[in-house]
């Protein structure tokens, strides 16, 4: 079946550091890929998405590129802020029912 | 914006109790989902529903049931709570533009 693997956290960075959170997937066909973010005490929010190979999703300074050849969708941000501290989930959707398959989540902690 | 409201933020229940987790949406969305969130495991789908009185098992339905008597409300039921059901439970709806999640219910079974 489909699966998503993302780097374990926590990831601890200083403010303005460069961020990469790795995400790789296993799926048949051509899934859509997503990054969700969960701020403390809140539900998940869609951060960005990409629906086909070589698409780049971007939002709030975050970017991720759909790489079919490496089955990856790594999340990057050039300069993180304390307010980016959250848990980040990589996910895919590969079926007509639109159900999501999630990775294990990566906690990001940004220190001033 | 769509709002998905989960009735309780925190719950503490005893082993063997019957537990109801409620989720209400304020739009007319057919698709509703219940996930549980555990550290390192991400979100795992328990049950989902495509319409009133319809339900489908997700990946981990054992020990749970659901009820969807009205379109706006989707309830998750733990028939006899056990300590391994201690978790964060998230409800979500789906529309064309994507998922909307509730804030979650953190359930502790003692």
| pLDDT tens readout for residues B42-92 | 899 999 999 998 999 999 999 999 999 999 999 999 999 999 999 999 999
CB atoms within 10 A of CB A97: 12
Task: Report the residue from A49, A97, A104 with minimal CB separation from B41.
Answer: A104
Q: How confident is the model at residue A8 (pLDDT cuts 50, 70, 90)?
A: confident
Contact assignment for A8 to B40 by CB distance below 8 Å: yes
Q: Which residues of B touch A103 (CB under 8 A)?
A: 42
Q: Which residues of B touch A2 (CB under 8 A)?
A: none
Best CA proximity match to B30, nearest among B11, B44, B56, B49: B49
Q: List the 6-65 stretch of A: residues with Cβ below 8 A of B.
A: 8, 34, 41-46, 49
Q: Which pair of structure tokens corresponds to residue A27?
A: 């799926």
Mean pLDDT of A84-104: 87
Mutation pick from B96, B98, B103 vs chain A, by most beta carbons of A within 10 Å, is B98
Q: Chain A closest CA to B90's CA: distance in Å?
A: 7
Q: Which residues of A touch B104 (CB under 8 A)?
A: 42-43
Q: Which pair of structure tokens corresponds to residue A101?
A: 């398959």
Mean pLDDT of A28-52: 91
Residue B42: what are its φ and ψ, rounded to 5°? 70, -145
Best CA proximity match to B45, nearest among A76, A47, A95: A95
Nearest-by-CA chain B residue for A105: B42
Q: CA B78, CA A27: separation in Å to the nearest integer?
A: 32
Residue B10 burial (10 A CB sphere; 0-12, 13-18, 19+): exposed
CB contact at 8 A, A94 and A100: no
Q: Chain B closest CA to A23's CA: distance in Å?
A: 13
What integer pLDDT is reported at residue A97 of this predicted model? 63
Q: CA A15, CA A73: separation in Å to the nearest integer?
A: 23
Q: How confident is the model at residue A96 (pLDDT cuts 50, 70, 90)?
A: low
């Amino acid at each position: 079946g489909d699966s998503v693997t993302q780097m374990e956290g926590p990831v601890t960075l200083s403010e303005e550091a460069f961020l990469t959170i790795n995400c790789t997937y296993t799926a048949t066909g051509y899934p859509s890929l997503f990054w969700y973010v969960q701020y403390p005490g809140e539900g998940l929010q869609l951060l960005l998405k990409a629906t086909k190979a070589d698409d780049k999703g971007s939002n709030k300074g975050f970017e991720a590129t759909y790489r079919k050849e490496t089955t990856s969708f790594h999340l990057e941000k050039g300069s993180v802020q304390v307010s980016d501290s959250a848990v980040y989930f990589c996910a895919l959707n590969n079926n007509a029912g639109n159900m999501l398959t999630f990775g294990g989540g990566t906690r990001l902690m940004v220190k001033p | 914006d769509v709002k998905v409201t989960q009735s309780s933020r925190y719950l503490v229940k005893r082993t063997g109790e019957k537990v109801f987790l409620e989720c209400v949406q304020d739009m007319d969305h057919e698709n509703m989902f219940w996930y549980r969130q555990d550290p390192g495991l991400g979100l795992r789908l328990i049950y989902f529903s495509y319409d009133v009185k319809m339900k489908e098992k997700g990946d981990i339905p054992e020990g749970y049931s659901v009820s969807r008597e009205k379109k706006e409300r989707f309830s998750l039921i733990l028939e006899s709570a056990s300590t391994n059901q201690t978790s964060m439970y998230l409800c979500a709806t789906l529309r064309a533009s994507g998922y909307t999640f509730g804030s979650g219910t953190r359930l502790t079974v003692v």
